[in-house]
Amino acid sequence: MIIVNDIHKSFGDSHVLKGVSTTFENGKTNLVIGQSGSGKTVFLKCLLGLFEPEEGTIEYDGKAYATLTTKEKRNLRQEMGMVFQGSALFDSMTVAGNVRFPLEMFTKQPKSEMDDRVNSVLKRVNLSGADDKFPAEISGGMQKRVAIARAIVMNPKYLFCDEPNSGLDPKTAILIDDLIKEITEEYNITTVINTHDMNSVMQIGEKILFLKNGHKEWEGTKHEIFKTDNAAVTDFVYSSDLFKKVRQMYIEEKN
Q: How far apart are CA 13 and CA 170, in angstroms?
A: 39
pLDDT of 199: 85
Cα angle 228, 231, 232 (rounded to 5 degrees) comes to 105
What CATH number does domain 1-79+156-221 carry, 3.20.20.140, 1.10.10.10, 3.40.50.300, 3.40.190.10?
3.40.50.300
pLDDT at residue 252 tops 70: no
Residue 248 reports pLDDT greater than 80: no
Of residues 30 and 202, more confidently modeled? 30
Burial status of residue 232 (CB atoms within 10 A of its CB: 0-12, 13-18, 19 or more): middle
Q: What percent of the chain has pLDDT over 90?
A: 72
pLDDT of residue 50: 92
Q: How far apart are CA 213 and CA 194, in angstroms?
A: 16
pLDDT in tens, 150-187: 999 999 999 999 999 888 888 899 999 999 999 999 99
Residues 99-137 have pLDDT tens digits of: 999 999 988 899 999 999 999 999 999 998 899 999 999
**Is 9 in contact with 17 (CB distance < 8 Å)?**
yes
Regarding predicted confidence, which is higher, 80 or 246? 80
Does residue 255 register a pLDDT over 80? Answer: no
Indicate if the pLDDT at residue 198 is higher than 60: yes
Least confident of 39-53, 105-119, 223-237: 223-237
Q: What is the mean pLDDT of residues 180-204?
A: 91
Q: In this predicted structure, what is the pLDDT of residue 202?
A: 85
Identify which has the larger pLDDT, 86 or 93. 93
Q: What is the full DSSP assignment across the chain? A: -EEEEEEEEEETTEEEEEEEEEEE-TTSEEEEE--TTSSHHHHHHHHTTSS--SEEEEEETTEEGGGS-HHHHHHHHTTEEEE-TT----TTS-HHHHHHHHHHHH----HHHHHHHHHHHHHHTT-TT-TT--GGGS-HHHHHHHHHHHHHTT--SEEEEESTTTT--HHHHHHHHHHHHHHHHHHT-EEEEE---HHHHHHH-SEEEEEETTEEEEEE-TTHHHH---HHHHHHHT-SHHHHHHHHHHHHHH-
pLDDT at position 63: 93
Residue 40 confidence class, pLDDT cut points 50, 70, 90: very high
Domain ranges of the chain: 1-79+156-221, 94-154
Judged against a pLDDT cut of 70, whether residue 249 lies above it is answered with no
Residue 153: the pLDDT is 94
Q: What is the mean pLDDT of residues 135-145?
A: 93
Which carries the bigger pLDDT value, residue 254 or residue 153? 153
